[in-house]
Amino acid sequence: MSPSQFNQTDTQLMYQQGQMFPFPQHQFCSSPTTGVYPPPMQHVSHITFSQQLPPWVDEMFKRMDKFQSKLDKLEQIDKKVSTINSNLKVLRLEQGTNSLDDRLEHAERCTQLISDDYDGQNVKFADMKTELTNISKAMKSITFEVKKVE
C-alpha cells in the first residue's frame, strides 16, 4: 500500500491514543528471534478500540473481566476460609484448655479430699492409740492389783 493511499481516517486511527505498537529504533532483520512484538493486551484500552474491533473481541474482554473478578472473589473466599480455620483452631485450643483446666481442678479437689481424709484418719488413729494406751495402763494396774490380792 503506497503512502498516497492512506486517507485521513486511517491516519487518525493509527495515531489515536499514541501508536498501537511502538516501533523499535533498530533495523528489521529476517532472523526468527527478532522482530516487532505487540505489547500485552492490558495496555490496550477497551474503550478507544471497541468501535473498530470485531464483536467477539469485546466479548472476550468482557469474559476476561468476569474471569478476573471471579479470581478476586476466590482470593477473598480463600482469605476468609483461612481466617475461619485459624479462628476454629483457636476455639478448639481454648476448649481443650478449658477441658484440661476442669479436669485438673477435679483432680485437685479429689487430692484435697483424700488429704483431708488422711488427716482425719491420722487424728482417729492418734485418739485410738491414746485410748489403747489408757486401757493398757488400766489393765496393768488391775493386773498388778490382782497379783497383790493373791
- Domain borders along the chain are 56-150
Q: Cα separation of 145 and 150, whole Å? A: 9
pTM above 0.75, yes or no: no
Look-up of cell digits 490382782:
146
Q: Are 113 and 106 in contact (CB under 8 A)?
A: no
What pLDDT digit, counting tens, does each position of 123-149 carry? Answer: 999 999 999 999 998 888 887 777 666
What pLDDT digit, counting tens, does each position of 24-48 carry? Answer: 444 444 445 445 555 555 555 555 5
Q: Are 18 and 43 in contact (CB under 8 A)?
A: no
